Amino acid sequence: MRHVKNSWKNIRRSPYQAFAAIMIMTLTFLTISFFTFLLLGSSKIVNFFESKPQVTAFFKNEAKQADIDSLKAGLEASSKVASVKFVSKDEALSIYKEQNKNDPLLLDLVTADILPSSLEISAEKIEDLTSISESLKSSPLVSEVIFQKDVVATLTSWTSALRTIGIVLVVVLSLVSVFIMVTIIGIKISQRKEDIEIMKLIGATSWHIRWPFIYEGVFYGVAGAFIGWLFSSAVLLYSTPFLSSFLKGIPIFPIPYLFFVILLGIEVLIAVILGAFSSFMAVLRYLK
Amino acid sequence: MIKLDNVSKKFGTGVFGLSDITIDVDKGEFLFLVGPSGSGKTTIFRLLIRDTLPTEGTIVIEDWDVVKLPKSQIPHLRKKIGVVFQDLKLLMDRTVFENIMLPLEVVGIKIEEASQKAEDVLAQVGLLEHKEKFPIQLSGGELQRAAIARALVLSPDIILADEATGNLDMATSWEIIKLLSDINEKGTTVVMATHNLDIVKNLSKRVIELEKGRITKDSKSPKSEQKKNGGKDIDKEEQKKDKKEEEKPVDKDKEDKSEDKKEEKK
C-alpha cells in the first residue's frame, strides 16, 4: 500500500508525463478494442454465410410443383448435399415482409406472384458448391442460381487481411508504448536521482526503490486500457442501431454485456503486463 | 564495535584519500575525528556504510565484514548505522516528519507504530513543533537536528555525524553536541567528524586527528600504534595530552555552566 501511495504521489507531481503515458496506452488499447470488434464481427459474418444455404436456385414461374419435387428428391439423394429446403412463393413473401417490415412502401408493391419459389441447398463441404450449382443451372426449371461461395471467399480474404493489419498495428503500437513508457519512467527516475541516492544511503533495498516505479507503469497501462475500452465500447454501443440495420439478418446484435466485461478483463491483463514490463525495463536501465 | 585495520583508499586520480588507517572503536564510545577538510573524515564514513570500498585493509562493524559484505546485505548494514551527512541529505519535497518517517518506511514498520516512533524522536531533538514544516523553512540548527533525528529513528547502534556543527554558531553547535552526548549516554556509539577544535578541546572524549589521510594523533591509541609513530611524536602527543587533561576540567565546568544557563533560560 505504501508503494502504491508513493507512486500515486509521483504521478500527481508530473501530470504532463502521466498524461502522455496514459494517452499512448489509450491509443494502443483503443486499437486493440476496435480490431477485436472488427475481427470477431467479421468472423461471425463469415460463419453466418458459411452455415447459411449456400446455393439458392430460383425457379421459373412456369415450373411445375411435381418437377420441382423430383429435382429436390434427386438433390437429397446426393451425398454432397446436407439439406434442401423448398421455399414457396407465399413463404418467400412472408420472408420478404419480415425483412422489410419497417418499410411499408416496399411491402405494398410486392405480391406473392412476382416472387419466385426457390430451393435453398446447403452443401456438406464448401468445395462441392460449384458442382451443385452447375447441375442446377443445367436444369430447365431453374431461372437463376445464386452462389454464395464468392461472398464467403471475399469475406474470408478481407478478414484475413484485417487480421494481419490488426496484428501488425497492435504489435507496433505496443512496442511504441513500451518505449515511450520506458522513456517516461526513465525521466522520472532521473528526476528523483538524489532522492533515490538518499534512500539507498539510509538502507533502502533496491526493490523498495523499484516498486513505486513499477506500480506507476502498471497504473498508466491500466488507466490507458480502461479509457480505451470505455471509448471503443461506447462507440460500438452507440453505432449498434446503425450496424444492426446494415447487417440485417446476421445474428451479431445485440452484443452481450459479458463480451465487454471479458474484453475489459483481457485488456487490463495485457495492460498490467505491458506497464510492468516497461517500468521494469526502465528500472533495470536507470537504477543500477 | 568498529574496527578498521590498515585501511587505505586510493582514488581514481591516484591520490591516496586514506593511507594505512587503523581505528578501533568500542561499544558506547564517543569519538571525534578531527582534521582539516580533505583529511579523509568523510571517506572513513563512506567506507563504514559501504558507500565506497577501500583499496586495502579490512573493516569490521559488529560482526559484519564490511568489505566482503554481499551487495544484498548492504541495506541491512546501513539500517544499523545512523548517519548525519555533511550535506544532511534531507528530502526537500517532504516535511520534517516525512523525512524522519523515511527510514521507518524503508524498514517496513506499520504506519501507526512508525508515526509514534518518529514523534518520539522529534521530541527528543526538540523539533516536534516544526514537524509539518519543509526543510527549506528551518534554520541551520533545526535542519541539523532533523538530520540527527532521521539518523536516530531506527535506534541504530552507531551514529556517524559528519560535520554536524559545520555551519552553526557556537551556541547551536553546543546544543547539537549536547544532543549527541545524550544519545551516546544511552549506549549508542557516536563518531563525529569535525574541524571545530574548540568543541573537541572542551570535551573529554577520545580524539583521532587526521591529516592528509593519515592518523596523526589518537588520544586513546593502543600501544602498538604508538610504537609505529616513533619516539618524538609520542612525547609530543603525551605532552599535549597532559596539557589537555589539565585544561579539560576547567573547560568542562565552563561548559556545564553555559549549559545550565541555557536551561535556565528555557
> What's the pLDDT tens digit per position in B66-77?
999 998 888 889
Check pLDDT > 70 for residue A81: yes
Q: Are residues A25 and A92 in the same domain?
A: no
The pLDDT tens digits for B79-88 are: 889 999 988 8
The complex's ipTM works out to 0.73
Check pLDDT > 50 for residue A73: yes
Our CA-based measurement puts residue A12 at a distance from the nearest CA of chain B, in whole angstroms, of: 13
Return d(Cα B117, Cα B138) in angstroms, integer: 21
Which of the listed ranges A131-140, A207-216, B232-241 does the model predict with the highest average pLDDT?
A207-216
Q: What is the CATH number of the domain that holds A133?
A: 3.30.70.3040
Task: Note the Cα B211 to chain centre separation in Å.
Answer: 18
Return the CATH fold of B2-221. Answer: Rossmann fold (3.40.50)
Check pLDDT > 80 for residue B259: no
- Residue range A90-107: average pLDDT? 76
- Residue range A196-203: average pLDDT? 87
Asked if A198 and B75 come within 8 Å (Cβ–Cβ), the reply is no
Q: Are residues A127 and A194 in the same domain?
A: no
pLDDT of A53: 58
pLDDT of B236: 44
B96 pLDDT band, cuts 50/70/90, is: very high
Asked if A204 and B89 come within 8 Å (Cβ–Cβ), the reply is no
- Residue range A272-287: average pLDDT? 89
Dihedral of the alpha carbons of A140, A142, A144, A149, in degrees to the nearest 10: -110
Check pLDDT > 50 for residue A182: yes
pLDDT of A78: 75
Contacting residues of B for A192, CB less than 8 Å apart: none
A234 pLDDT band, cuts 50/70/90, is: very high
pLDDT of B147: 92
pLDDT of A140: 76
- Higher confidence at residue A33 or residue A90? A33
Read out DSSP for chain A? -HHHHHHHHHHHH-HHHHHHHHHHHHHHHHHHHHHHHHHHHHHHHHHHHHHS--EEEEEPTT--HHHHHHHHHHHHHSTTEEEEEEE-HHHHHHHHHHHTTT-HHHHHH--GGGSPPEEEEEESSGGGHHHHHHHHHTSTTEEEEEETHHHHHHHHHHHHHHHHHHHHHHHHHHHHHHHHHHHHHHHHHHHTHHHHHHHHHTT--HHHHHHHHHHHHHHHHHHHHHHHHHHHHHHHHHTHHHHHHHTTTSTTPSPPHHHHHHHHHHHHHHHHHHHHHHHHHHHHHH--
Q: Are residues A183 and A127 in the same domain?
A: no
Check pLDDT > 60 for residue B258: no
Check pLDDT > 90 for residue A74: no
Q: Are residues A73 and A157 in the same domain?
A: no
CA distances from B34 to B141, B162, B199, B213 (A): 21, 11, 10, 11
Check pLDDT > 60 for residue B233: no
- A114, A129, A147: which is the final residue of a domain? A147
Closest alpha carbon to A179 in A31, A284, A282 = A282
Our CA-based measurement puts residue B152 at a distance from the nearest CA of chain A, in whole angstroms, of: 11
Whether A46 and A93 have beta carbons less than 8 Å apart is answered as: no
User: What's the mean per-residue pLDDT of chain A?
Assistant: 82
Our CA-based measurement puts residue B18 at a distance from the nearest CA of chain A, in whole angstroms, of: 21
Asked if A204 and B106 come within 8 Å (Cβ–Cβ), the reply is yes
The structural domains of chain B, with segments of one domain joined by +, span: 2-221
Whether B31 and B57 have beta carbons less than 8 Å apart is answered as: no
B54 pLDDT band, cuts 50/70/90, is: very high
Sheet holding B158-162, edge to edge: B81-84, B158-162, B189-194, B30-34, B206-211, B214-218
Q: Does A202 touch chain B (CB under 8 A)?
A: yes
Q: Assign 3-state DSSP to chain B and report helix, strand, coil percentages, each to 5.
A: 50, 25, 30
pLDDT of A221: 92
Q: What percent of chain A clears pLDDT 90, i.e. is strictly above it?
A: 19
- Residue range A45-72: average pLDDT? 75
pLDDT of A148: 66
Q: Are residues A34 and A169 in the same domain?
A: yes
Q: Are residues A126 and A176 in the same domain?
A: no
Asked if B78 and A203 come within 8 Å (Cβ–Cβ), the reply is yes
Q: Does A201 touch chain B (CB under 8 A)?
A: yes
pLDDT of A122: 76
Q: Does A203 touch chain B (CB under 8 A)?
A: yes
* Nearest residue in chain B measured CA to CA from A208: B106
Contacting residues of B for A204, CB less than 8 Å apart: 75, 106
Whole-structure pTM value:
0.69
pLDDT of A172: 92
Nearest to B75 among A2, A197, A204 (CB): A204
Check pLDDT > 60 for residue A207: yes
- Residue range A111-137: average pLDDT? 74
Contacting residues of A for B111, CB less than 8 Å apart: 2
Q: Does B253 touch chain A (CB under 8 A)?
A: no
Closest alpha carbon to B191 in B162, B155, B211, B219 = B162
Q: Which amino acid is at B59?
A: I
- Residue range A146-173: average pLDDT? 82
Mutate to test the interface with B, among A1, A4, A191, A202 (most CBs of B within 10 A): A202
Q: Are residues A10 and A95 in the same domain?
A: no
State how many domains chain A has: 2
Check pLDDT > 70 for residue A275: yes
- Residue range A4-23: average pLDDT? 84
- A88, A116, A147: which is the final residue of a domain? A147
Check pLDDT > 50 for residue B196: yes
Check pLDDT > 50 for residue A124: yes
pLDDT of B132: 92
B254 pLDDT band, cuts 50/70/90, is: very low
- Residue range A161-182: average pLDDT? 89
Nearest to A203 among B85, B106, B111 (CB): B106
Check pLDDT > 70 for residue A141: yes
B137 pLDDT band, cuts 50/70/90, is: very high
- A147, A177, A202: which is the final residue of a domain? A147
Q: Are residues A83 and A226 in the same domain?
A: no
Q: Which domain holds residue A246?
A: 2-49+153-286
Q: Are residues A127 and A179 in the same domain?
A: no
Q: Are residues A91 and A202 in the same domain?
A: no
